[in-house]
Chain A
Amino acid sequence: MSQVLVVVDIHDGHVTKPSLELLTLARRIGEPAAVVFGEAAGVAETLGKYGAARVLEANDPAIDEFLVGPKVDVLTQLVEAESPAAVLLPTGLDNKEVAGRLAVRLDSGLITEAVNIEEGAATVQSVFAGNWTVSAQVTRGVPVITTKPNTVAPEEAPAAGAVEQVSVSIADTSKGAKVVASEEKQASGRPELPEAAIVVSGGRGTGGNFEPVEALADALGAAVGASRAAVDSGWYPHAYQVGQTGKTVSPQLYIANGISGAIQHRAGMQTSKAIVVVNKDPEAPLFELADLGVVGDLHTVLPAVTEQVKAKKG
């Protein structure tokens, strides 16, 4: 069976959920070979459990010292050696660029932000702020595809997960953008925004007080999100922005509080399975997307909900 190269992201020593999803999708095309940038020892077992027959470890200090370029060198060499049926990457700032540069090197078609991958590497994308669904196919070269989080539920499919060292030679021209400082983001202690099953978010309507939003999120075990208006006002960090220029989320439940529903915000949350909107203006456009809409003040509605949720959970 043909190989499928799957770039997997490791965060805090764990394989990210979107990476496991990708291993599941990869099996529709061929046999997944996971590509790990950095140490693979701690994650090989998990990767094997989710279907990676091989774990290709590319460990070189240049990978962290320079943006993107070294990873492209590794993947180019792997594609040449393995002639895979496709190269798949979970979306992210760096992975998208890795994918773009790789596509140029290979003169191969590139598809970004797929929400599904089917047999033969056919893709489905959700575009124009989630208003259209597009099916597409790479017609030249080795398909290079990035996916959004929450494509499929990761399925276990025990495989060897055998670690192989990839000997990499990184060109000087791939060391052009040097990472001169790097400060790890503080963990919020809540689920990662793009992976969370429930997202509770706040906008300008919070008036800068995210306490009721955070309290409800914690009662539900949810992640916290924010509109750009809230981020621009300095009320919440940019890393939590949902929308076109922030994160895309597609949770089971999205609860939007004090958010009007601009197209750029919708772009990041429209594909959520269920949507609840709390807004004191009955004309707020986001009510159009709501499965349940509550016209009311978030500062009274949310604390009451939180209290009842806590009581029910005991």
Chain B
Amino acid sequence: MKILALVKHVPDATGDREFADDGTVDREGADGLLSELDEYAVEQSLQIRENSDDDVEIVALTVGPDDAADAIKKALQMGADAGIHINDEAIHGSDALATSKILAAAVQKAGADLVVCGMASTDGNMGVVPAMLAERLGWPAATFGHTVSLEGQSVTIKRDGDTAAQTVQANLPAVVSVTDQSGEARYPSMKGVIAAKKKPVDEWTLDDLGVDTAGIGLEGAATKVTDTTPRPPKQAGTIVTDEDGSGANALVEFLSTNKFI
């Protein structure tokens, strides 16, 4: 049984995130890390292995520039067995359509019974790549799970859906995505950090994938960013320190001045 955990390297959300001149996310000016939401994907993959009687191999897969190797490294430290890094100049500026196309080719080349994704990348925050990948592979997708369980050739997730709490079942091979409600991701142990150094990481280019490159890269993108503007700094508001009800009075006055009551 082989699990591919899909991990993305993203600019740190707690730092300043910017756009480059070409309208793409600035990945060079910012400190990057494994998207926190993809740690949950690695964690759930590890738990599936721990709860399984079969041999389970976990491979962390990323599409991204040189720095994205750090995302793989973190996944290996957490306990994944191997990594695959798809890295090619031509990928820069790819949109979700292209990313899903590259990932689909990589999944096909690597082979997998189950692909585990995060719920969304913390930079693009689209939350669509797992479904788009599944569409390309012709596989079912059980997404936004807060609980994942595997039984034989079937995977079941529980999700907090739009209007209902749902249980969703799909037969393997399948794509699942997991939320930050799925249980805290473990920290790498000292042993894990040392072991990670010896784990194999394959680097593949688009050529290696043999993928048709139409639509890949900034030129091929089906969407075009025409403008990016930073939010103007917020005007400093009024700050009241509550003493003998002055805080409540100020709040009530604010509500009536602004016609909320």
**Residues of chain A at the chain B interface (Cβ within 8 Å):** 9, 11, 67-69, 72, 92-94, 96-97, 99-101, 103-105, 107-113, 122, 127-141, 173, 176-185, 198, 220, 228, 238-239, 244-245, 252-253, 263-264, 267, 270, 274-276, 278, 282, 287-297, 300-302, 304-305, 308-309, 312-313
A182 to B252, Cβ gap below 8 A? Answer: no
Which residues 93-150 in B have Cβ within 8 Å of A in the complex?
A: 95-97, 100, 119-120, 122-123, 125-129, 131-132, 134-136, 138-144, 146
The residue on B at minimum CB distance from A291 is B237
Which residues 174-194 in B have Cβ within 8 Å of A in the complex?
A: 174, 179-181
Interchain CA distance A122-B226 in the complex, whole Å = 9
Identify which of B140, B160, B227 contacts A238 (C-beta below 8 A). Answer: B160
Given contacts A110-B128, A309-B252, contact A292 B140 (CB under 8 A): no
- Give chain B residues whose Cβ lies under 8 Å from the Cβ of A92: 162
Q: B163 on the interface (CB 8 Å rule)?
A: yes
- Give chain B residues whose Cβ lies under 8 Å from the Cβ of A304: 245, 247-248
17 A-B pairs, CB-CB below 8 angstroms? A93-B159, A99-B128, A110-B95, A112-B128, A131-B17, A136-B226, A176-B141, A176-B171, A181-B166, A184-B163, A289-B234, A294-B247, A295-B240, A300-B248, A302-B248, A309-B252, A309-B261
B251 to A180, Cβ gap below 8 A? Answer: no
Identify which of A100, A133, A238, A278 contacts B132 (C-beta below 8 A). Answer: A100
Q: B209 on the interface (CB 8 Å rule)?
A: no
Interchain CA distance A128-B123 in the complex, whole Å = 7
- Give chain B residues whose Cβ lies under 8 Å from the Cβ of A198: 260
- Cβ distance A69 to chain B, nearest Cβ, rounded Å: 8
Chain B interface, number of residues (Cβ within 8 angstroms): 82
B239 to A287, Cβ gap below 8 A? Answer: yes
User: Chain B at the A interface: mostly helix, strand, loop or mixed?
Assistant: mixed
Q: B33 on the interface (CB 8 Å rule)?
A: no
Given contacts A176-B174, A180-B169, A238-B181, contact A67 B143 (CB under 8 A): yes
- Give chain A residues whose Cβ lies under 8 Å from the Cβ of B51: none
Give the interface segment out of B1-9, B59-67, B84-92, B215-223. B215-223
Q: B254 on the interface (CB 8 Å rule)?
A: yes
